[in-house]
Amino acid sequence: MGHVEHKKNEKANRPLNVYVITLSDTRKESEDESGNYIKKALLSASHKVSGYNIIKDDRYLLENLIVQTCLHDAGKNTDALIVNGGTGISFKDITYETLKDLYDKELYGFGELFRSLSCAEIGPSAMMSRASAGIYNGRIIFSIPGSLNAVRLAMDKIILNEIGHISYEISKHL
């Protein structure tokens, strides 16, 4: 069965419970345009937001939140996670390093596709994005830059189109 048939499967089209995490040292929920866009986009695509948190750019906080969400009671209500922020190249940007150590499998194509689409919009500085995706404990985690334009690109062109299919593929083998 090819990807077209997979996407037609009702399990690939079911509403998912998605946990949204924003990394920011300064934003509050009312100022979190990117996190709010992600939540609205998920809801408009018939998914549910199983949780939402803004945390500082701190490796321990991010790792702990993801582990708690995926391994403990809350994990039963979460099919996927979307992390925005902390994907740049500055010293304080820790998202990629944190997640790559957690991933059971990394989906290299997501970062490559995001940078390719981003390059068409912003040019070669797209290479500084360390957007990534991977599987951890049976859940897909997407990590995207925190700018609103990057979030729109990732959500509208990639994530909303593939999140159900990816979740279905993961669940087939659990």
- Domain CATH number, residue 69: 3.40.980.10
- Whether 52 contacts 35, CB under 8 Å: yes
Domain for residue 13, yes or no?
no
What is the rounded average pLDDT of the residues 106-123? Answer: 97
Domain for residue 7, yes or no?
no
What does pLDDT average to over the chain?
92
For the cut 90, the answer to whether the pLDDT of residue 11 exceeds it is no
Domain for residue 22, yes or no?
yes
Residue 167 carries which side chain, given as an amino acid letter?
S
Domain containing 134: what range? Answer: 18-167
What is the rounded average pLDDT of the residues 7-19? Answer: 81
List of residues 6+ apart from 66 with CB closer than 8 A: 21, 81, 83, 99, 102, 136, 141
Domain for residue 8, yes or no?
no
Domain for residue 154, yes or no?
yes
In this structure, how many other beta carbons lie within 10 angstroms of the beta carbon of residue 43?
Answer: 13
pLDDT at 13: 84
Tens digits of residue pLDDT in 40-89: 999 999 999 999 999 999 999 999 999 999 987 555 689 999 999 999 99
The answer to which of 18-32, 62-76, 77-91, 135-149 has the lowest mean pLDDT is 62-76
pLDDT at 1: 58
pLDDT at 146: 96
Number of domains forming the structure of the chain: 1
